[in-house]
Amino acid sequence: MSDVNSLYNEAEGLKDAGQLDQAAAKLNELLAIDPKHVLSHLALAVIYGRLGQHEKAVEHGQRACEIDPSDAFNFTAMSVTYQRAWQGTQRGEYIQRAEDAMARAHQLQ
């Protein structure tokens, strides 16, 4: 498990330094070891959103919600991911999905 923590910490450092591609690579390396690492999926949702890769961002956000569907934070983060995907693509379905995710977060609180 220390490998997972090490990789996650390295990825966070890279993300904070603005090295988004390298951070994404590190997180994907981590997910090869532990595909259910929720924090990595959430971080990738943010990173891919910043990189304009909104479909990948949404996939990782959804995966975090699937892995831990009882955590309201995951759905709040998913709502933000959908909002940013809408901003980046202007695809209307993302607005409804953002509202649905936020409603789910409120149900869980």
Binned at pLDDT 50, 70 and 90, residue 2 comes out as confident
Half-sphere exposure of 53 (CA within 13 A, CB side): 14
Token look-up 């990595």 returns 40
Average pLDDT over every residue of 50-55:
97
Reported as a single tens digit per residue, the pLDDT across 93-109 is: 999 999 999 999 999 99
Is a pLDDT exceeding 60 seen at residue 1? no
Q: How many domains does the chain have?
A: 1
CATH number at residue 48: 1.25.40.10
Instruction: Tell me the H-state helices in the chain.
Output: 2-16, 20-33, 38-50, 54-67, 72-89, 93-108
Is a pLDDT exceeding 90 seen at residue 27? yes
Domain extent at residue 41: 2-108
